[in-house]
């Protein structure tokens, strides 16, 4: 399978419930690259890069989230290398500041 980059926005009760830490752990377990951050509108934004099937599995997992989250919607769109490169040099997966 070829590698893909997906830009994902998750809405619902996803802040203050450990969602970003959960995304970091799940992405690392799957060997994905990317980043995650909170948005001021209450959503969580992430970029995942890796094999198409693994990224698709991660997006499916985001629809469930950690047990304390209540996911209302997951929007996944094609991502770009510019988005992926918002993380620091040498970082595989990163927490970015809230925007």
Positions annotated as catalytic residues are: 20, 38
The answer to whether residues 83 and 7 touch, using CB atoms and an 8 Å cutoff, is yes
Tokens, residue 2? 């070829």
Best CA proximity match to 55, nearest among 99, 3, 10, 11? 3
The torsion angles phi and psi of 42, rounded to 5 degrees, stand at 95, -5
Q: Which residue has the tokens 């499916």?
A: 60
């Amino acid at each position: 399978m070829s590698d893909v980059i997906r830009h994902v926005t998750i809405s619902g009760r996803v802040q203050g419930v450990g969602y970003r830490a959960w995304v970091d752990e799940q992405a690392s377990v799957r060997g994905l690259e990317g980043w995650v951050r909170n948005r001021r509108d209450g959503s969580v934004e992430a970029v995942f890069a890796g094999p198409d099937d693994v990224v698709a599995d991660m997006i499916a997992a985001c629809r469930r989230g950690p047990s304390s989250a209540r996911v209302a919607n997951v929007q996944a769109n094609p991502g770009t290398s510019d988005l992926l490169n918002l993380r620091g040099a040498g970082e595989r997966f990163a927490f970015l500041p809230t925007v």
